Amino acid sequence: MSDGRDFVSREQDAAAVAVKRGRLRYYLDGQSTSVGRYVLEQSLFMLLGGIPSLIGIGLRAVAYKMILRMRGKVAVENKVRLCMPHNITLGRNVYLDCGVYLHACPQGIFIGDGTFVMHNAELHVYNFRGLPHSGIWVGENCFIGESSIIRGQGGVTIGDHVLLAPRVQILAVNHVFDDVSKPIIQQGITAQGIVIEDGAWLGAGAIILDGVRVGEGSVVGAGAIVTRDVGSLGFRVERPHMGVLRLGNRR
């Protein structure tokens, strides 16, 4: 995360951009880095994307080297959806479970060695608003639980040995809403970024909002809504408007 006005983008919303560019071009620009690559990628997905079991994993481990940046052997299960795969880097022994969705524009998604991304998790970087820090960087030996969502418009950095329980949401984006005369969708967005440091544990259903840093070794309780930094030392309990927010360190 860094400071400055580059956190704010008042570019047009997705619907307006689609009309301006043309819907076909807008769709293709969000799926791949070129038309040629789009044809190659979709051909491989059609032929190999639905094959289950070790046979499918083995075939994809070989063929997907043509469209992904792989730093070693990886395991990609069937029904994994990949958009902008040229911008996705997978380290050694990364595992992508069934139903995982990675959308990686423009700076992309990096997943470090030995990290598991479980069923129906979504790592999404769709930056059509020109934000400079967009991207998702996940360290080594992490676990991203089932149906977790990471939105990386402002940049999300996750350290090593981080545990995300099921349905965690990490949302590095927010809406501008200061002009009551305009719909919120037309007012732009802010995107400060989120950092999760080494060894942290985010409990089931926790929500981390934009601009937050979760310190090394910290524990965020299940169902918490985190709106400010969690230090790597100490423990605090807060009671927001809805629910109970529990933050602290496991040590």
- Please count the CA atoms within 13 angstroms of the CA of 4 that sit on its side-chain side: 7
Type and span of the H or E element at 251: none
Helices assigned H by DSSP within 3-98: 14-21, 23-31, 35-48, 53-63
Residue 11, CA distances (Å) to 38, 67, 155, 156, 193 in order? 26, 30, 18, 21, 18
Q: Strand 109-111: give its sheet, edge to edge.
A: 69-70, 88-90, 109-111, 136-138, 156-158, 194-196, 213-214
CB neighbourhood size of 204 (10 A): 16
**Prior bond of 106 cis (ω within 30°):** yes
Distance, CA of 117 to CA of 152 (rounded, Å): 16
Catalytic residues: 175
Distance, CA of 119 to CA of 97 (rounded, Å): 5
